[in-house]
């Protein structure tokens, strides 16, 4: 009501309708988001495999040698980055991992990757993680735990601390499960603001653009997870801002509605 009263009479009805639509869309989006997150826990392909990365590196190598000349350097750098990930693994010192061991009782703990890249579980089990991908972590932890404990079930959830910045309601850094879809990560920061343009979202790494808006918008539309999109600790997903023109408040509200609906469509596809 307060916002609408500041606009010309012709804008009031449209703004109220947009606001009501936005509330409904955000409510529906939250429901779909929770459903998608629940499904993510049972789908192992939400963490990229070594075979997937090896194939991606090979494609990048071919593109660097025979593809578009203007993109050969970019493709060569992509191939090198993937091969470095394959060599070094995903786990960095300071990363956190939730480990649940069910035996005679339930033992759940959040452990930190220590210097030398290892995890210490239950005070006695050391798990080296150098060169281990997130998709390989469950098997690596299980192998070590079962040497000492007769466990009925072992659950391993690697977390990744990333920034969700730009045009979101609660910008900041969050520790998300690595298999969380990009759409859910944006909603985890409160969702897009009225000034958001999700299609202009980028990823920054070490204060430089790591993923373009085109790459990021395709990843969001495709339902990719943080891990599938190759995000690491410290990366920043920066939700884009609209270009300002016209009646800014009205456009902001309708822009937010469009952004949330775009996230809903991406979530419903997966």
Q: Smallest Cα–Cα separation from 214: which of 74, 85, 89?
A: 74
* pLDDT recorded at residue 258: 64
Q: Is residue 136 part of a domain?
A: yes
Share of the chain above pLDDT 90, in %: 68
Answer yes or no: do 217 and 264 share one domain.
yes
- How far apart are alpha carbons 66 and 70 in whole angstroms? 11
pLDDT, residue 5, reads 34
> How many C-beta neighbours within 10 Å does residue 50 have?
14
pTM above 0.75, yes or no: no
**For residues 258 and 22, what is the distance between their CA atoms, to the nearest angstrom?**
9
Domain-embedded: residue 91:
no
Collapse the DSSP code of 59 into the 3-class scheme (helix H, G, I; strand E, B; otherwise coil) and give the result.
Answer: helix
| pLDDT value for 123 | 74
Residue 171 and residue 241 in one domain = yes
Domains in the chain, number: 3
Domain containing 131: what range?
96-158
Give the model's pLDDT for residue 118.
Answer: 96
Residue 124 is predicted with a pLDDT of: 84
Which is it for strands 106-112 and 236-239: parallel, antiparallel or unpaired? unpaired
Q: Are residues 132 and 229 in the same domain?
A: no
Q: Distance between CA atoms of 219 and 141, rounded to whole angstroms?
A: 30
Query: Over the stretch 140-162, which tens digit does the pLDDT of each residue have?
Result: 999 999 999 899 999 999 999 99
> Two tokens at 91?
């786990």
Per-residue pLDDT tens digits for 157-186: 999 999 999 999 999 999 999 999 999 999
pLDDT value at position 268? 62
Following DSSP, what letter does each residue of 107-164 receive, concatenated? EEEEEEPBTTTEEEETTTEEEE-TT--HHHHHHHHHHHHTTT---SEEEEEEEEEEEE
Looking at residue 104, its pLDDT comes to 86
Residues of the chain with pLDDT under 50: 1-44
Nearest to 172 by CA among 194, 145, 190, 147: 190
Co-location of 209 and 250 in the same domain? yes
Residue 21's pLDDT is 39
Q: Left if phi > 0, otherwise alpha if psi is -120 to 50, otherwise beta: which for 122?
A: left
Q: What pLDDT does 25 receive?
A: 42
135 within a domain of the structure (yes/no): yes
Predicted confidence at residue 243, as pLDDT, reads: 81
Domain membership flag for residue 228: yes
Do 78 and 103 reside in the same domain of the chain? no
209 and 248 housed in the same domain = yes
Q: Which of 222, 211, 224 is nearest to 185 (CA)?
A: 224
Q: What does the pLDDT read at residue 254?
A: 59
Model confidence pLDDT, tens digit, residues 237-263: 999 998 865 555 555 555 556 666 666
DSSP letters of 233-249?
Answer: TT-EEEEPBPPP-SSHH
Q: Are residues 66 and 129 in the same domain?
A: no
Classified as helix, coil or strand, 79 is helix
Domain closes at, from 158, 188, 205: 158
> Most distant CA pair in the chain: distance in Å?
73
- Residues 133 and 56: their CA atoms lie apart, in Å, by 15
236-239 and 153-166: which strand pairing? Answer: parallel
């Amino acid at each position: 009501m307060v916002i609408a009263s500041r606009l010309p009479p012709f804008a009031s009805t449209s703004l109220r309708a947009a606001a009501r639509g936005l509330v409904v869309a955000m409510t529906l989006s939250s429901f779909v988001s929770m459903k998608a997150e629940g499904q993510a826990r049972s789908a192992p392909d939400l963490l990229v495999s070594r075979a997937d990365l090896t194939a991606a590196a090979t494609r990048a190598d071919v593109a660097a040698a025979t593809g578009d000349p203007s993109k050969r350097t970019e493709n060569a750098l992509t191939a090198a980055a993937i091969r470095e990930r394959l060599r070094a693994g995903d786990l960095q010192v300071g990363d956190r991992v939730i480990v649940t061991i069910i035996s005679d009782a339930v033992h759940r703990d959040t452990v930190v990757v220590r210097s030398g890249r290892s995890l210490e579980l239950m005070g006695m089990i050391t798990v080296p993680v150098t060169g281990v991908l997130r998709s390989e972590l469950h098997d690596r932890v299980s192998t070590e735990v079962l040497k000492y404990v007769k466990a009925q079930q072992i659950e391993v959830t690697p977390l990744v601390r990333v920034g969700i910045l730009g045009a979101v309601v609660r910008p900041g850094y969050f520790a998300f499960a690595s298999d969380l879809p990009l759409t859910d990560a944006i909603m985890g920061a409160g969702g897009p603001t009225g000034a958001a343009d999700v299609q202009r979202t980028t990823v920054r790494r070490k204060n430089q653009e790591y993923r373009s808006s085109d790459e990021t918008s395709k990843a969001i539309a495709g339902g990719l997870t943080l891990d599938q999109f190759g995000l690491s600790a410290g990366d920043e997903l920066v939700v884009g801002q609209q270009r300002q023109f016209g009646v800014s408040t009205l456009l902001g509200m309708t822009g937010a509605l469009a952004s949330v609906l775009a996230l809903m469509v991406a979530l419903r596809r997966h």
